[in-house]
Chains A and B, each alone.
Chain A
Amino acid sequence: MSGSEQESTHRTIERVARESYGRLVAYLSSRTRDVGSAEDALGNALVAALETWPRDGVPQNPEAWLLTTARRSFIDLLRHRQVAEASEPTLALLREESKHKTLSPEFPDERLKLLFVCAHPAIDPAMHTPLMLQTVLGLDAARIAHAFLISPTTMGQRLVRAKTKIRDGGIRFEIPQERELPQRLDAVLEAIYAAFGIGWDDMAGVDQRGRDLAEEAIWLARVLLELMPKEAEVHGLLALMLHCEARRAARRAPDGRYVPLSEQDCQKWSRPLMEEAERHLGEASSRGWTGRFQLEAAIQSVHAERARGGKIQWNAIMMFYEELIRISPTLGTRTGYAAAVAEAKGAEAALAALNAIAPDDVSVYQPYWAVRAHVLQQLRKIPEALDAFDRAIGLTEDPAVRQFLLQRRG
């Protein structure tokens, strides 16, 4: 095999691994709940693919090949590990299935169940996102650890612990019943959004966590949408992330300087991403019910109006925030509201909105101090503004944002 053929084989393996990872892990683990063993088995199958495909060529149905190989390895792993007695029938079933030489490419897609398992209320909420990134997308613990600012060893241990809980804790692979579906779906959406990790980038208030994973979060949302095409909030979440992602190239000046949303060159915003976002937002609102992510997407949509030559309708943004506070009165929402009030009604009203938030809650919340500094500066309350700037600067992780705030502080 020539070098270029080999390269293309490797690329095929990478692509199949990426596209099939979650489907295969979900399918293998759905009956045993043993996510860890399913991942190990798939890992073995991928190693086997790297060894044999370059030599024998890529099989006709690469995903089916991986599944057959992974399933064989999975049976071995389960046999070697001390598994619960209950899994004996499962083993028998798996053995029976693996006898069929040709596997139907139509094996059931269990990823939705896996997503609900990852965001199950019995699992530590801080682990919902890492679990999804690993089991559905196949990201390694080190990469997840960097994004979540945890040491790679610790992240690895926490992932193992969470998977043990899934296996031994009686967490079932199932779609939640209708009555609990909204709440359970919310947890899944929250976890995907946590991977996206961008708060709102007005006023240099940036929530850093997970920000390296934006593309992965969008991928997860697309997977979820494929599985639940009728859920308005899934469309809403995807619309929100696409609008923010569209602005990626405009967030930094060529010299690395931070550029706040209102000063971004909207020629640099991605049209296709914005158009796709608008399509999903339209799809969401046609379903009648308005949820948190749709409202946040709607706010971003108003900002996007600037790219079409329009003025930003701050009154509309303020209204959306009022609605948001009603259903999700988080610190982020209330701070965003104050920032919108500053534009719509002026600094005095914005300061009142900021003062209405309990001081204990905001002591380490960077965006609050960034907005407060901006508002106090407009009101010419200089010593208080300097103090607020210091708090915002001191709580910033991003050197570009720090630089920006230091300059504004003067």
Chain B
Amino acid sequence: MQFALLIFESPEAFAARNADDNNPYLGAWRAYHKALVEADIYVGGNPLQPPETGTTVRLKDGKRRVQDGPFADTKEQLGGFTILELPSLDAALEWAARCPAASIGAVEVRPVSPEYKRRVTG
């Protein structure tokens, strides 16, 4: 089954993206990605641009509400996601613990919902 690792990152982690290639956080991510691919569990994923680039849209009482910035105002913000093919939640938690973001931010593990997807996509 597939699991999404939702990567929540601190401002420092977002800042590391502008550092040079020798930055340890980037190095850790490169190594982690290699480990995922070599273990043959990597399905897909992408980093997101930093939270300040987000724009949030709502329709309330028929009126458009547009807000600069991300949906939630928290210190750690969604920085990307990774989809993995794994046999169990236990295995997914193990890979989440190895994620470089786990020690300076947080990683939320959620099962992908194929049933719901089928109902939506037909």
Q: Are A395 and B35 in contact (CB under 8 A)?
A: yes
B13 part of interface (Cβ distance < 8 Å): no
Closest to A391 in B: B35
B34 part of interface (Cβ distance < 8 Å): yes
Interface residues of A in 376-410 (CB under 8 A from B): 387, 389-397, 399, 402-403, 406, 409
Known A150-B90, A402-B28, A406-B28: A394·B35 in contact at CB below 8 Å? yes
B81 part of interface (Cβ distance < 8 Å): no
Q: Which residues of B contact A393 (CB under 8 A)?
A: 27-28, 31-32, 35
B12 part of interface (Cβ distance < 8 Å): no
Partner of B30, one of A149, A390, A399: A390
Partner of B31, one of A151, A363, A364, A391: A391
Partner of A396, one of B33, B36, B98: B98
Q: Are A397 and B97 in contact (CB under 8 A)?
A: yes
- Shortest CB distance B44–A (Å): 17
Partner of A403, one of B24, B32, B94: B24
Q: Which residues of A contact B27 (CB under 8 A)?
A: 393, 406, 409
Q: Which residues of A contact B32 (CB under 8 A)?
A: 393-394
- Residues of chain B touching chain A, judged by Cβ–Cβ distance below 8 Å, are 24, 27-28, 30-36, 38-40, 89-90, 93-94, 97-98, 100, 102-104
- Shortest CB distance B3–A (Å): 13
Q: Are A406 and B24 in contact (CB under 8 A)?
A: yes
- Residues of chain A touching chain B, judged by Cβ–Cβ distance below 8 Å, are 149-151, 154, 208, 363-364, 387, 389-397, 399, 402-403, 406, 409
A32→B122 CA distance, assembly (Å): 54
- Shortest CB distance A159–B (Å): 15
Interface hub of B35, B93, B94 (most chain A Cβ within 10 A): B35
Q: Are B98 and A397 in contact (CB under 8 A)?
A: yes
Closest to A369 in B: B35
Closest to B103 in A: A399
Q: Are B31 and A149 in contact (CB under 8 A)?
A: no
Q: Are B31 and A389 in contact (CB under 8 A)?
A: yes
25 contacts between A and B (CB under 8 A): A149-B94, A151-B93, A154-B89, A363-B40, A364-B39, A389-B31, A390-B34, A391-B31, A392-B31, A393-B27, A393-B28, A394-B28, A394-B31, A394-B34, A394-B98, A395-B35, A395-B98, A396-B98, A397-B97, A397-B98, A397-B102, A399-B104, A402-B100, A402-B103, A406-B27
Q: Which residues of A contact B97 (CB under 8 A)?
A: 149, 208, 397
Closest to A209 in B: B94
A392→B34 CA distance, assembly (Å): 10
A393→B34 CA distance, assembly (Å): 10
A208→B98 CA distance, assembly (Å): 11
- Shortest CB distance B114–A (Å): 21
Closest to A402 in B: B28
Partner of B93, one of A149, A363, A402: A149
A151→B28 CA distance, assembly (Å): 25
A397→B36 CA distance, assembly (Å): 14
Given A149-B94, A154-B89, A399-B104, 12 further pairs, Cβ under 8 A: A149-B93, A149-B97, A151-B93, A363-B38, A390-B35, A392-B31, A393-B35, A394-B28, A394-B34, A395-B35, A395-B98, A402-B28
Closest to B96 in A: A149
- Shortest CB distance B79–A (Å): 17
Q: Which residues of B contact A208 (CB under 8 A)?
A: 97
A67→B72 CA distance, assembly (Å): 52
A176→B67 CA distance, assembly (Å): 68
- Shortest CB distance B43–A (Å): 17
- Shortest CB distance A341–B (Å): 25
- Shortest CB distance B53–A (Å): 28
Q: Which residues of A contact B40 (CB under 8 A)?
A: 363
Q: Which residues of A contact B28 (CB under 8 A)?
A: 393-394, 402, 406
A390→B93 CA distance, assembly (Å): 20
In the A-B complex, the 10 residue pairs with the smallest Cβ-Cβ separation, listed nearest first, are A394-B35, A393-B31, A394-B31, A399-B103, A390-B31, A394-B32, A390-B34, A397-B97, A406-B24, A406-B27
Closest to B32 in A: A394
- Shortest CB distance A389–B (Å): 7
